[in-house]
Amino acid sequence: MRLGLRLLLGFFLIVGLAAFFVMRVFVNEVKPGVRQAMESTLVDTANVLATMAADDLKQGRIADGDFARNIAEARQRKLGAHVWQFTKQRIDYRITVTDARGIVVYDSGGRDLGRDNSRWNDVYLTLRGEYGARSTPEVPGDDSRTVMYVAAPIYDPDVEGKRLIGVLTVAQPNHAFEPFIAASQHNIMLRGAWLIGLSALIGLAVTVWLMRRINRLTRYARAVSAGQPAPPPPQGKDQLGVLGAALETMRTQLEGKAYVEHYVQSLTHEMKSPLAAIRGAAELLQEPMPDAERARFVRNIQAQEQRLTETIDKLLALAEVERHGWLQNREQVELAPLLAKVVEDGSAPSSARGLRIHAHADGNPAVQGDAFLLRQALSNLLDNAIAFSPQGGEIDLSAQVEANRVRIVVADRGPGVPDYAQERIFERFYSLARPDTGLRSSGLGLPFVREVARLHGGTVALRNREGGGAEAVLELPAA
């Protein structure tokens, strides 16, 4: 299982379990909470009504006195009350009054007159001076619908002190509160579902954000392990940012050691031949020889010195490009003026060989990149074309857009690329002898062009032309 999925499932499991247990506690507490509030209200109501019924009970007219008439009128009222989201039309209370023996002398429902209620907890406990209440099924044996009974003592209004003369009981069906309980539970469940959903979305967003950063670190580590250049991972003040900075520092240190070792070996190898030629010429110059021979050896030393200087300069330029795994300076570069500058840079050597250079850009294409590096790369391609072109030949520089790619071509009419050199032409220090002089270059120009193309997200190729000659094709993403 992938790390992102594990993180999401773990986050969702923790939040889901927490929300489930919290909702379960809330849901389970709604019903007893509502019933406790209902019982508290019944206690207040019973004691108020007990005080109002005291005179009629003592006078023996509790069944047809003012108290009974007032209760009857109240039960006939159409309430039309909107409680929360429910409408209440009538009074749900049922009121019974027993005498001091527990015999029912008044029943607002008119059902239990004369019944002995002294055995029920509400009356039994109240007659003994305790708090009396009970919850009994409406139908014996059916616990799904119950009624709550709360009793209050009725005292003789004409006697100082508390002489108990009866008990008033207020009954309220529990199902009258079931809609409120169900609605509260439904709202809790609904909001709980929203909570879990929002938590899941937050968890998904956090997981996606975290995995994007981890994946960038993973891609960076894989690129480094494969020896491929890669931009440094995003750095910040959190743990992932610190990890990215540490990885970049480690890469720089490791690559620096390998890089120096590799280039020292390459430079040492390439310097052996020129140094050997210079040493041999210097030894011969110490001996007497004709002036013509002496001048030839001096020219040889100068040529080898120039070769060494060119190798070191181009190696430093290539090292500078390869040292950066990404393009640091990026701007829009129009190719028409860039090609004109490249032709101007190559005007001196091309004129010396009688070459004509034609440059044109169809529609003035542009790329996003580093103008200085692009100019150096095109100058290297043009230098190669000049070196391999015959005296009085022509070189074409062109740029055009094809399918969101800019195609830059440097074409000459020289001998072309031999078949044996096709696979090695972009290797460091590999070069071909110039047709006119037989000398070789440093072999670093084309590797430099390839690195510049890579930094710009493009490619470079060198192939033979129909009718003779070679063409270097540099393709870059269009701006």
Residue 410 sits in a domain whose CATH number is: 3.30.565.10
- State residue 377's pLDDT score: 83
Closest CA to 386 of 399, 396, 376, 377: 396
- State residue 48's pLDDT score: 94
| CATH code for the domain of 29 | 3.30.450.20
pLDDT tens digits in sequence order for the chain, 479 residues long: 565 566 667 766 776 676 666 666 665 666 677 778 888 989 999 999 999 999 999 999 999 999 999 999 988 888 777 766 667 777 888 999 999 999 999 999 888 899 999 999 999 999 999 999 998 887 777 777 888 899 999 999 988 778 999 999 999 887 776 776 677 767 777 777 777 777 777 777 777 777 777 777 777 777 766 656 666 666 666 666 666 666 666 666 555 444 445 545 555 545 655 666 667 667 777 777 787 777 777 777 776 676 667 666 656 655 655 555 555 667 888 888 888 888 887 777 788 788 888 888 887 788 888 887 788 788 888 888 888 888 888 888 888 888 888 898 988 888 888 888 778 887 777 777 777 666 667 677 788 788 788 878 888 888 888 888 889 889 888 87
Range of the domain at 165: 3-183
| CATH code for the domain of 241 | 1.10.287
How many domains does the chain fold into?
3
Residue type, 319: A
Helix (H, G, I), strand (E, B) or coil at 239: helix
- What tokens appear for 160 in the block? 């100082």
- What tokens appear for 350 in the block? 């091309």
Q: Are residues 314 and 378 in the same domain?
A: no
Q: Are residues 319 and 335 in the same domain?
A: no
In DSSP terms, which residues pair with 134 in a beta bridge? 149
- State residue 164's pLDDT score: 93
- State residue 200's pLDDT score: 73
162 domain-assigned: yes
For Cα atoms 194, 199, 201, give the angle at the middle one, nearest 5 degrees.
95
| Terminal-to-terminal C-alpha distance of the chain | 41
d(CA 331, CA 67) in angstroms, rounded, equals 96
34 with 77: CB under 8 angstroms?
no
- State residue 39's pLDDT score: 86
135 with 147: CB under 8 angstroms?
yes
Domain boundary, last residue among 303, 326, 349: 326
d(CA 126, CA 102) in angstroms, rounded, equals 10
Dihedral (C-alpha) 249, 254, 255, 258: value to the nearest 10 degrees? 160
d(CA 462, CA 375) in angstroms, rounded, equals 18
